[in-house]
Amino acid sequence: MLYDLNIAWSPTTSAADLERTLRFSSQLGYNVVALNHTLDAPLPSNISNPLPKFPSSPSPADSQTGSRNQRIPTTLRRLTINLSDPAQNPQLPKAAQAYDIVALRPLTEKAFQAACLTVSATDVSLISLDLTSRLPFYLRPKPCMAAVSRGLRFEICYGRAVGPGADARARANFIGNVAQLVRATRGRGLVVSSGGEGGGGVLALRAPADVVNLLAVWGLPTDRGMEALGTNPRGVVVNEGIKRSGFRGVVDIIGVAERSEEDKAKENEKGEAKGKEAAKDNKKRKNGEGETAGQGSQGGEGGDQPMSKRQAKKMKAALRKKEAEEKGA
């Protein structure tokens, strides 16, 4: 399966343009795509998801039209947060509840260091960089490899570099930044997305083979390029799904099996039987206490019940007192 985890969306994007972009991505061979909504930190207290929802399975109309109008691929909803100061508290856990994927776009060196080293990998899965502009920091191997080892992935968006609105300076910056990122990460932990915007998203999309060839020219091996389109983004999608539907990100809770009526009837019968046994035990205890009390009162009258230590001491003391009185007499 092939993935494109960044198809830009804005409130001004029309439904017709968005649907055309999604259908064209399916025609190119992408099975899973993600609509991207970008916000600036700090986030509002009440986070809502304005992205539209699309059915994951093809509709009957799509199945009848055949190959002329391709079906809409599986569409996820993603949030990218522009972060310039790590102390802005972007409320990542709340954002993770509202969106399927959460990504960070650091704008300063301090924010980049925080994204690579300190931001929780359970809330963020992608580090997206604007590679068409000159970065205000260097992509050094140590923080980049630390982020990859923590499970984070770096995203390369080629749409702004190959789209119709790209200029020579943007393409030069993109090529230099991609080469620097490939050297820093050694080609590991990369995710390649289109990042096409608005109605021009169709023109920014490229076929997977073309993307792999472009990245090979810019220094990324072919096998790493295929991983960036298939294996790595699949890991992001699967991990994000397990985090939201599983238990502590380890066990995936699919559903709880319902008990049959026979099992429920058996459990009710067992409960009633236990209740009756408990009632019988209570009666036996009460009867036993009454009998022991009566036997204790009859013990001084010479019954056969065993004498307690306290009674034996009292009887010995009485005998000694009686013998002392007889000797004195």
Given a cut of 80, is residue 298 above it in pLDDT?
no
Q: Which residues have a Cβ under 8 Å from the Cβ of 139 and sit 6 or more positions away? A: 177, 180, 181, 183, 184
Give which of 169, 174, 104 is closest to 135, Cα–Cα: 174
CA distance linking residue 186 with residue 182, whole number of Å: 5
Contact 236, 125 (CB under 8 A): yes
DSSP code at position 302: T
Q: Using the structure block, give the residue that is written with the tokens 């399916």.
A: 26
Give which of 237, 255, 254 is closest to 100, Cα–Cα: 237
The whole-number pLDDT of residue 65 equals 46
Res. 52 pLDDT band, cuts 50 70 90? confident
CA distance linking residue 180 with residue 138, whole number of Å: 8
Token output for 219: 């220094």
Contact 117, 146 (CB under 8 A): yes
Pairing assessment for the beta strands 101-106 and 74-83 based on DSSP bridges: parallel
Token output for 305: 């019940």
Pairing assessment for the beta strands 74-83 and 126-128 based on DSSP bridges: unpaired
Q: Using the structure block, give the residue that is written with the tokens 């709880």.
A: 256
The whole-number pLDDT of residue 184 equals 93
List, in sequence order, every residue forming a beta bridge with 157; answer none if it has no partner. Answer: 193
- C-alpha dihedral sign at 97, 102, 108, 110: positive
Mean pLDDT of the region 8-36: 87
The whole-number pLDDT of residue 64 equals 45
Cis peptide before 306 (omega within 30 of 0): no
The whole-number pLDDT of residue 268 equals 76
Contact 60, 43 (CB under 8 A): no
Q: Which residue has the higher pLDDT, 212 or 204?
A: 212
pTM over 0.75: no
Of the listed ranges 97-106, 221-230, 248-257, 260-269, the least confidently predicted one is: 248-257
Mean pLDDT of the region 8-33: 87
First vs last Cα of the chain: how many Å apart? 115
CA distance linking residue 83 with residue 114, whole number of Å: 10
CA distance linking residue 212 with residue 23, whole number of Å: 21
CA distance linking residue 189 with residue 211, whole number of Å: 17
The whole-number pLDDT of residue 113 equals 92
Helix (H) or strand (E) holding 35: strand 32-40
Token output for 198: 């608005």
Given a cut of 60, is residue 237 above it in pLDDT?
yes
Of the listed ranges 112-121, 225-234, 245-254, 273-282, the least confidently predicted one is: 245-254
The whole-number pLDDT of residue 257 equals 64
Given a cut of 90, is residue 307 above it in pLDDT?
no
The whole-number pLDDT of residue 234 equals 92
Q: Which residue has the higher pLDDT, 293 or 166?
A: 166
Given a cut of 80, is residue 286 above it in pLDDT?
no
Give residue-wise pLDDT tens across range 72-130. Answer: 888 898 999 898 888 876 678 888 888 889 899 999 999 999 989 988 877 888 999 98
Helix (H) or strand (E) holding 80: strand 74-83
Res. 261 pLDDT band, cuts 50 70 90? confident
Question: Percent of the chain at pLDDT above 70?
Answer: 81
Cα atoms in the 13 Å half-sphere on the side-chain side of 178: 24
DSSP code at position 11: T
Given a cut of 80, is residue 255 above it in pLDDT?
no
